Amino acid sequence: MLNIAIISSSIRIGRNSHRVALFFKKYLEESHPASVRILDLSEYNFPLFDERLQYQRSPSANVIDFAEQIKSADGVIIVTPEYNGGYPASLKNAIDLLHKEWHRKPVAISTVSDGIFGGSQVITSLQFCLWKMRAWTVPAMFPVPEVNKVFDENGNPIDDHFNEKRAANFISELLWCIEAKSRMGDHK
């Protein structure tokens, strides 16, 4: 069974992008034999980064859990809001904690906004950061504009605004990368 981790990046009070994380969890569980876990950065509540996990003397159970979840995931979906043209500090704070866990990890990015552009300005900066971490960023986009009109607060699509085909294409690109990686085994 596939093991997929979904990072819900917004820790903002009253956040809305979390709806997209809830949507993907349900969507994947209903459409594939997959074990899906949301890694909610609000719940992890990491302090401001002061060192990478590998150099921490007494890392918290939270950080260890986060690292294990990323390490064991076959693929990761990052759901990120756009804040002033970038991704939130909470996400960078979490990405920088890890190192080898990101290497060759298939990572698909969904960007979210309450405006009409779906947070699409985030994608290049976040892709570059993940590329530097040697993650394998999946060449697919899932921008969600006007998130409140597309998903309700439980992550259920609101009919007129939701495009299922787009979600299916996005997930299929992620699954293709996961499959390609598994066929390569641990080849260095």
Ligand X SMILES: Cc1cc2nc3c(=O)[nH]c(=O)nc-3n(C[C@H](O)[C@H](O)[C@H](O)COP(=O)(O)O)c2cc1C
Name the residues that contact ligand X, by CB under 6 A: 10, 12, 15-17, 81-85, 112-115, 117, 119, 147
Query: In angstroms, what is the minimal distance from the CB of 110 to ligand X?
Result: 11
Q: What is the separation, in whole angstroms, between the first and last Cα of the chain?
A: 24
Say how far apart CA 68 and CA 5 lie, in whole Å.
11
Using a 10 angstrom Cβ sphere, with 0-12 exposed, 13-18 middle and 19 or more buried, the burial of residue 187 is exposed
Q: Residue 31 or 125: which CB sits closer to ligand X?
A: 125
Our CB check for ligand X shows the closer of 81 and 106 to be 81
Indicate the residue among 31 and 45 with the shorter CB distance to ligand X.
45
Nearer to ligand X, 52 or 128 (CB): 128
- Paired strand residues for 111: 80
- To ligand X, the closest distance from the beta carbon of 94 in angstroms equals 15
Look up residue 95 and give its two tokens: 């990405």
Strands (E), 28-134: 34-40, 75-81, 106-112
Q: Quick check: 99 and 133 in contact, CB under 8 A?
A: yes
Q: How far is the CB of 77 from ligand X (least distance, A)?
A: 15
Query: How far apart (Å, rounded) are the C-alpha atoms in residues 179 and 187?
Result: 14
Distance CA 127, CA 26 (A): 25
- Closest to ligand X by CB, 63 or 122: 122
Q: Name the DSSP letter for residue 146.
A: S
Shortest Å distance, C-beta 43 to ligand X: 15
Q: Which is nearer to ligand X, 44 or 136 (CB)?
A: 44
